Structure 1
Amino acid sequence: MKLVVQVKLLPTPVQATALEATLRVCNQAADHASSIAYETGVKSRNDLQKAVYTDLKVRFGLSAQPAVRVVKKVVDAYATLRANLTAGNLGRADSKRYRRAAGSPIAFRPAAAQPFDDRCLSWQLDARTISIWTVHGRHKNIRFAVSPDQLTTLAAHRRGESDLVYRDGKWFLIATCEVPEPDAYEPVDWIGVDRGIVNLATTSDDINYQGRRLSRYRRWQARKRAELQARQTRSATRRLARRAKREHRHATHMNHVISKEIVSIAQRTGRGIAVEELGGIRDRVRLRRDQRGTLSSWPFHQLGRHLAYKARRAGVPFLEVDPAHTSQRCPRCGHTERANRPDRDHFRCRRCGLAGPADLVAGINVRNRARSAWAFVTMPVASPSTRA
Structure 2
Amino acid sequence: MKIVVQVKLLPSPEAAAVLAVTLPACNRAADAVSVVAYETGTTSRNALQKLVYARVKAEFGLAAQPAVRTVKKVVDAYATLRANIRAGNLGPEGSRRRRRAESKPVVFRPDAAQPYDDRILSWQHDAQTVSIWTVGGRIKGIRYTGHPGQLAMLAKYRRGESDLVHRDGKWFLIAVCEVPEADRFEPADWIGVDRGIVNLATTSDGDNYQGRRLGRYRRRHAAKRAELQAKQSRSATRRAKRRAKKEARHAAHINHRISKEIVAVAQRTGRGIALEELSGIRDRVRPSRDQRATLSSWPFHQLEEHLRYKARRAGVPVIAVDARYTSQMCPRCGHTARHNRPTRDAFSCRRCGLAGPADHVAGVNVRNRARSAWVLVNGPVPQRA
**Which residue of the partner structure matches residue 322 of structure 2?**
322
**C-alpha distance in 2 between matches for 1:177 and 1:233:** 41
TM-score, L = length of structure 2: 0.98
**C-alpha distance in 2 between matches for 1:207 and 1:49:** 56
1:266 aligns with 2:266: yes
**C-alpha distance in 2 between matches for 1:63 and 1:123:** 20
Structure 1 unaligned blocks of 5 or more: none
**Which residue of the partner structure matches residue 61 of structure 1?**
61
Q: Residues 362-373 of structure 1: matches in 2 within 5 Å? A: 362-373=362-373
Letter paired with 1:163: D
**Which residue of the partner structure matches residue 313 of structure 1?**
313
Q: How much has 1:333 moved relative to structure 2? A: 1.4
**C-alpha distance in 2 between matches for 1:311 and 1:133:** 37
Matched residue SS, 2:173: strand
Q: How much has 1:64 moved relative to structure 2? A: 1.2
Q: Residues 39-50 of structure 1: matches in 2 within 5 Å? A: 39-50=39-50
**Which residue of the partner structure matches residue 232 of structure 1?**
232
Q: Which moved more, 1:360-369 or 1:222-231?
A: 222-231
Give CA deviations for 1:101-137 in whole Å, capped at 9, x if unaligned. Answer: 0111000011100000000100011111100011100
Letter paired with 2:239: R
Give CA deviations for 1:316-361 in whole Å, capped at 9, x if unaligned. Answer: 0111111111111111111212221122111122222221111011
**C-alpha distance in 2 between matches for 1:21 and 1:229:** 31
Q: Which moved more, 1:84-93 or 1:286-295?
A: 286-295
**Which residue of the partner structure matches residue 177 of structure 2?**
177
**Which residue of the partner structure matches residue 152 of structure 2?**
152
Letter paired with 2:3: L
Q: CA RMSD in A?
A: 1.1
1:284 aligns with 2:284: yes
**C-alpha distance in 2 between matches for 1:345 and 1:137:** 63
Q: How much has 1:99 moved relative to structure 2? A: 0.2
Q: How much has 1:230 moved relative to structure 2? A: 2.8
Q: How much has 1:225 moved relative to structure 2? A: 2.1
Letter paired with 1:100: R
Matched residue SS, 1:279: coil
Give CA deviations for 1:271-322 in whole Å, capped at 9, x if unaligned. Answer: 0001111111112222222111211221111111100000001100111111
**C-alpha distance in 1 between matches for 2:241 and 2:81:** 25
Q: Which moved more, 1:278-287 or 1:162-171?
A: 278-287
Q: Residues 1-388 of structure 1: matches in 2 within 5 Å? A: 1-383=1-383, 387-388=384-385
Letter paired with 1:300: F
TM-score, L = length of structure 1: 0.97
Letter paired with 1:205: D
Matched residue SS, 1:351: coil
Q: Which moved more, 1:2-11 or 1:62-71?
A: 62-71
**C-alpha distance in 1 between matches for 2:23 and 2:330:** 58
Question: Among the aligned pairs, what percent are the same residue?
Answer: 72
Give CA deviations for 1:167-195 in whole Å, capped at 9, x if unaligned. Answer: 01100000000000011100000000000
Letter paired with 1:192: G
Letter paired with 1:123: W
Q: How much has 1:232 moved relative to structure 2? A: 2.6
After the TM superposition, list the runs of 4 or more consecutive aligned residues in structure 1 that deviate by more than 6 angstroms. Answer: none
Give CA deviations for 1:59-91 in whole Å, capped at 9, x if unaligned. Answer: 212111111101110111001000100111000
**C-alpha distance in 2 between matches for 1:146 and 1:139:** 20
Letter paired with 1:235: S
**C-alpha distance in 1 between matches for 2:56 and 2:228:** 43
